[in-house]
Structure 1
Amino acid sequence: MNFVRIIFNLLRFDRANWKAVVLCVATALVFWIFNAFNKNYSTNIRFPILFEFDGERYVPAEHFPKTITVNVSGNGWDLFRRYAGLRSPQLIIPLERPAEVRKIIASTLVPVVASQIGNLKVNFVVTDTLYLHIDKRDVHRYKLKADISAVSFQEGYGRISPVVVLPDSVKLEGPESRLHAVIDSIVIPVNHKNVSENFREEVEVTFAGSEFVRRNPPIVQVMFEVAQVEIVNKKLKVEVDKNSIALDVDSVNANFQIPVSRKSDFDLQSKEIISRVSTRSMKKNGVALPRVLNVPSYAQLLRIDSIHSKGH
């Protein structure tokens, strides 16, 4: 019975005793943490990095790596602050010839890192390789063209005018490899459904790698007229550039889309439309698709028959 009474008395604390116990535990924990943080440890820390080069002459052609992971040793407090991001400096990596550097073996950065992380000791760089693509800054102006193949019209409606892009050119400034990849013009895709009225839309100038290029202007307007249309068939006279080509026909059938309101005009002007075949357009199998000339601006060629040379 005495033993049970002793245990019961030990478990019977009043509030003051509980507060004292909690205070003792908290004090012991604080002393333990301080003692542990005063020791030296090794750990991996991820540092943000910044590449330093002549930004007036050179620009990035691809996204830079943003961080580098380094194994370091140091006082527990210093490691905690760096690991928690409280005092993680941005490491500056200088590049003397940026256009010539495509990769950096991270182990070669130990002296650069060591000089910028204070009391911490660099053991080794965990990150293996940093890949870069920096080019000389270049400036070019390119023509703009609109691709409206993804535009659909309501039944009975269609485009009745040329496609206009305003402005019709864009000035690009950026890495020369990105600019030189653009051959002579930039095609702007336009996507719209069930168009039944005159079209006018702002479209962003985009192409492969455009996020690395400054575009002026970045947005242009694409426009064309829309009206009720019909499809008409015309028989076109065939002209030959070279008399040496002998064709099995002297005319071809072609389908045109025209505005309903211009039907009478097209009947008159279609007499001037011709199809032309040259030796250059003739394939080895003797088949050629004629070029169509003198088509009124409001008319759109939908299809034309191919032509065979004699003997094929």
Structure 2
Amino acid sequence: MALLKSFKSIFLSLPGSRQKKDIFAFTLCFFVATAFWFLNRLNSNFTTTLSYPLEISYDRESYTFTRKLPDKLNVNISGFGWKILDKMYGFHKEPLTLNNESIFRNNFLSAKEIMPVLNQSFNEIKINSISPDTLYFSFDKRLVRKVPVILSSSLEFKPDFGLSGDPRVFPDSVIIEGASSMVNQIKSIHTKKITKNNLHEDFTLEVKLDFQEKQGIKISHTTIKIHFPIDEFIEQKKQIRFTRLNFPEQFSSDSTIPEFCNVGFRMPAKKLNEFSSDSFRLILDYRFIDPEKQIILPLVEHLPGYIHDFTIINPSIINVKDRNYR
């Protein structure tokens, strides 16, 4: 009312006050008449279609839906205008919650099963029809699984440089959860391919996982960090003592079978202080003797992963029959 008086005083203060008074009176009467007409019409019966929010209640720990759940129902209703107006714009428009075991038994809910729940929400309003009249569902048992992350990369290095160890992935595995039929098909998750050239020093980067999210499938991480240890590789030549295994007793004092072997390899410069002749073993195992040629090939055991291009220089073949070697 105060607002109307303020509007009136401003309007009448303008030039041509007589005409303004007539216009103001007409306008006021028009709006009052319209308001009374509208309020009177709300006492009449109306038919309209209302889009009503929908919520499906289910055990989220045990099941997951593989197709997007419907979130609205189109409800055709009839009733007094006041009631319909309240349903359309009122403050009590809570979602319609459906909780029915037939969802998991039949994979659908028919109008016959939905209508009783709707009638409780639409008090004093007649429900003529709903659309869609049947709700279809696609669901599966929920499964949580841990799978490894697989690195996909193409790396090129400067001359004499290379990986001094395995790349370190953080985290090295991820958790996936969702429909069991889909989760069981995922054995691992690959990274997006990493391509780097002319490498000569360590580097760490963040990379996305090559995984397309699907309906009902969640993943704990979408990106991971990877550290690549890179070093210059130094050429080495060492003399390593043979370890004899399973030799007959008559060979125990045979000095013609060599005790040492010359080997060559490349290793990271950072590992030089850690390396010793005990870092790996060269084995002569009599069980693997070639019965026809009477020769034994040396075997390498526990060779560190950072050693590249390992070569047995001499002797590479042990001739047991003639007690000589080459």
Give the TM-score taking structure 2 as reference length: 0.57
1:4-15 alignment to 2 at 5 Å? 13-15=18-20
Q: How far off is 1:92 after superposition?
A: 0.7
Q: How far off is 1:153 after superposition?
A: 6.7
Aligned position for 2:188: 185
Q: Percent identity?
A: 24
Q: In the aligned structure 2, how far is the partner of 1:100 from the partner of 1:265?
A: 71
Q: How far off is 1:99 after superposition?
A: 4.2
Tell me whether 1:165 sits opposite 2:136 in the alignment. Answer: no
1:221-260 alignment to 2 at 5 Å? 221-226=225-230
**1:144-174 Cα shifts (integer Å, max 9, x gaps):** 212235xx77998986354332332233343
Aligned position for 1:262: 233
Q: How far off is 1:65 after superposition?
A: 1.6
Change (3 A) 1:156 1:104: farther
Change (3 A) 1:176 1:158: farther
Select which of 53, 58, 70 maps to 1:53: 58
Q: In the aligned structure 2, how far is the partner of 1:204 from the partner of 1:85?
A: 46
Select which of 153, 176, 179 maps to 1:175: 179
Contiguous gaps of at least 5 residues in structure 1: 1-11, 228-260, 271-293, 301-312
* Higher gyration radius (CA): 2
Aligned position for 2:24: 19
Q: How far off is 1:26 after superposition?
A: 1.2
Change (3 A) 1:208 1:85: farther
The 3-state SS of whatever aligns with 2:25 is helix
The 3-state SS of whatever aligns with 1:78 is helix
**1:242-284 Cα shifts (integer Å, max 9, x gaps):** xxxxxxxxxxxxxxxxxxx3263699449xxxxxxxxxxxxxx
Change (3 A) 1:136 1:268: same
CA contact (8 A) 2:162 2:233 kept: no
The 3-state SS of whatever aligns with 1:181 is coil
Q: How far off is 1:97 after superposition?
A: 5.4
Q: How far off is 1:194 after superposition?
A: 6.7
Q: In the aligned structure 1, how far is the partner of 2:202 from the partner of 2:71?
A: 47
The 3-state SS of whatever aligns with 1:55 is coil
Change (3 A) 1:70 1:102: same
User: In structure 2, what residue type is equivalent to 1:185?
Assistant: S
Q: How many residues align?
A: 230
Q: How far off is 1:123 after superposition?
A: 0.6
Tell me whether 1:135 sits opposite 2:134 in the alignment. Answer: no
CA contact (8 A) 2:102 2:109 kept: no
Change (3 A) 1:155 1:263: closer
Select which of 97, 104, 107 maps to 1:102: 107
Q: In the aligned structure 1, how far is the partner of 2:156 from the partner of 2:134?
A: 52
**1:205-237 Cα shifts (integer Å, max 9, x gaps):** 56344674454566532222356xxxxxxxxxx
- Once the two structures are overlaid, the 10-residue window that deviates more, 84-93 or 15-24, is 84-93
Q: How far off is 1:138 after superposition?
A: 2.1
Q: In the aligned structure 1, how far is the partner of 2:90 from the partner of 2:198?
A: 54
Q: How far off is 1:51 after superposition?
A: 0.6
Aligned position for 1:309: none
Change (3 A) 1:45 1:165: same
Give the TM-score taking structure 1 as reference length: 0.59
